[in-house]
Amino acid sequence: MDGSQLSRFPTETNVARSNNNKKPAPVDREHDNERLVANNRRARHDYEVLETLECGIMLVGSEVKSLRAGTISLEEAYARIKGSEVWLLGCEIAEYVQANRLNHVPRRPRKLLLHKREILKFAGKATEKGLTLVPLKVYFKEGRAKVLLGVCRGRKLHDKRDVLKKKDVQRDIERAMRRR
């Protein structure tokens, strides 16, 4: 081996040199046990999120396995309040290949698990004109599947343009500050 090949292998001196200028990442204890499965980025673009709430989701075994593989689509998903329960509709969890005949229906309604007082609080807001319940992300927290549900108001086209302009201006400001 010549000297150029030795530098490819991490040694204490190589690691120390490469990490000298990096600051240690801050520890985020709140999100230690969270593993993101799906993020509904389109919802943040199409809707103005007024309030969010974390809720559980009732799943069958093959759905959990499929979620762990990351095969979920939140694009057309929304939540509805029926009676004293909240249901997630339009969410597609792909079939789990190894489940064969014990598989689940991909687009079935799924019950969201909330306390009664949370349902009553959300029901009041969700029944207002122009507001809807939209799933913003699906993740595992301490081994359990969770859905971040948002009370949202739809944006008009000019609102979307305004938001994009503000983001561009903010990005330009941050770039200018970094160059200083």
- In this prediction the pTM is 0.67
The one-character DSSP state at 143 is: T
Length in residues, the chain:
180
* 32-47 residue pLDDT tens: 677 888 888 887 878 8
Phi/psi for 39 (5° steps) reads -125, 130
* Cβ–Cβ < 8 Å for 57, 93: no
Nearest to 76 by CA among 141, 132, 23, 3: 132
3-state helix, strand, coil in the chain (%, to 5): 40, 30, 30
* 132-169 residue pLDDT tens: 888 999 999 888 889 999 888 887 777 778 888 888 88
- Domains of the chain are 32-42+49-154 (2.40.280.10)
Q: How far apart are CA 141 and CA 136, in angstroms?
A: 15
